[in-house]
Amino acid sequence: MTHIELKHLSKQYDDTDEIAVKDVSIDIPSGLIVSLLGPSGSGKTTTLKMLAGLITPSSGRIFFGKNDVTNIPAEKRQASMVFQSYQLYPNMTVAQNVGFGLKMRKFKKKEIRKRVGEILDLVHLDGFSERRPSKLSGGQQQRVALARALVNDPEVLLLDEPLSSLDAHLRVEMRRLIMNIQRELGVTTVFVTHDQNEAVLMADRIALMFDGSLHQYSEPSKFYSHPNSLETAKFFGSVNFIPAHREEDKLLVTPMGQLLMEAKSPLRGDVLFTMRPEQIELGVQMPHNTATGIIQSMTFVGAYLSYRIIIGDIPIEVHRSAGLPQNFKVGQSLPVYFPPDYIWILPESGHVSSG
């Protein structure tokens, strides 16, 4: 088990003007599973490869526990990486693929056979040891790649988009397998994904990156309740963003009227009001935080109904569980309540650094 620290890590590839990773600092307590999340090209794989020792940072440091590993080569790092494309050796059997690293490290044949057998059990591939990769399904190849990483008994496990090339059914199975193994071995794990649901389901903490910069690093629920930038909020499915002015600690002036808010945020002055569509209440009249709106449209979205409501000339989206009785009709005027506990504010641009 290893505590990992990335300190002000940056990477600019040779012969490029762009900086692929910009001043990223992440602290990963021992034994946790952390997701590097972000859209394509945001610097996730580059960050993971720096952790693995496959790419040298342009600046910044990486620590595994107390050891500065920034300049330690990959093979001496106690970190194993599973690549997005698996990269299995096609001419070797499953057992040979998994045991290759041990063979290189001059382990005895008997020891290799024993450890390979144990690891193949762990990834549910017992019985497949003599097959070649071309005779395996995508999910099985993925598990061979995972076994090959685990057989070295790494302190740090690095996975690049481990589920992206699997179909939905296999993805659920593989997700469970990875989580169970991670917990069982207690290996500090970092995995890359562009899928926010996947990150939320699997990770203890998420590091969200845009354009090479880390926007927010926190536990998954915080990305819904306390996003620290407009991009973060949008990435996690928020839709209501309204220019507002924070007059006092607990008072927000908005086009829907003055609203009381409870949120702790360092932001002052011009901000963006936001509230998730499922937290706004319809047909509830309170002495405060209540505006009058008109239902403009209603859309059935499977598990919930999405209402578009106009307050003055401000459109707001509100979701109601489709399982609840619905007494609202298009064209109807009704009170709309914004509970103070769920009001959140965002900077107009950039991100708040204390996430």
Output the CA–CA distances (angstroms, integers) from residue 99 to 53, 73, 150, in the order listed. Answer: 21, 21, 10
Task: Provide the phi-psi class of 43: left if phi over 0, else alpha when psi is between -120 and 50, else beta.
Answer: left
Rounded to whole angstroms, the Cα distance separating 267 from 157 reads 37
The distance of closest approach from Cβ of residue 25 to ligand ADP in the complex, given in angstroms and rounded to an integer, is: 17
**Shortest-Cβ-distance residue relative to Mg ion:** 45
- Contact call for residues 202 and 179 (beta carbons, < 8 A): yes
**Does 45 help bind Mg ion (rule: CB under 5 A)?**
yes
Rounded to whole angstroms, the Cα distance separating 217 from 352 reads 11
Which span (39-47, 102-110, 130-138, 237-245) binds Mg ion, by CB under 5 A? 39-47
Contact string 163-182 vs ligand ADP (x = CB under 6 A) = --------------------
**Does 232 help bind ligand ADP (rule: CB under 6 A)?**
no
Interface residue with ligand ADP among 6, 33, 43, 191 (CB under 6 A) is: 43
Rounded to whole angstroms, the Cα distance separating 114 from 226 reads 48
Contact string 3-42 vs ligand ADP (x = CB under 6 A) = ----------x--x-x-x-----------------x-xxx
The distance of closest approach from Cβ of residue 112 to ligand ADP in the complex, given in angstroms and rounded to an integer, is: 33
The distance of closest approach from Cβ of residue 325 to ligand ADP in the complex, given in angstroms and rounded to an integer, is: 44
Angle of CA points 197, 199, 204, to nearest 5° = 130
Q: Is the dihedral of CA 26, 32, 37, 40 positive or negative?
A: positive
- Contact call for residues 164 and 114 (beta carbons, < 8 A): no
**Does 162 help bind ligand ADP (rule: CB under 6 A)?**
no
**With CB cut-offs between 5 and 8 Å by kind, which of ligand ADP, Mg ion, none does residue 318 bind?**
none
| Smaller CB separation from ligand ADP, 44 or 148 | 44
Rounded to whole angstroms, the Cα distance separating 30 from 185 reads 12
* Contact set for Mg ion, span 148-187 (CB under 5 A): none
**With CB cut-offs between 5 and 8 Å by kind, which of ligand ADP, Mg ion, none does residue 220 bind?**
none
**For the chain, what is the total number of helices (H) and then of strands (E)?**
8, 20
The distance of closest approach from Cβ of residue 162 to Mg ion in the complex, given in angstroms and rounded to an integer, is: 12
The distance of closest approach from Cβ of residue 123 to ligand ADP in the complex, given in angstroms and rounded to an integer, is: 24
| Smaller CB separation from ligand ADP, 213 or 254 | 213
Angle of CA points 339, 345, 347, to nearest 5° = 170
- Interaction site with ligand ADP (CB under 6 A): 13, 16, 18, 20, 38, 40-46
- Interaction site with Mg ion (CB under 5 A): 45
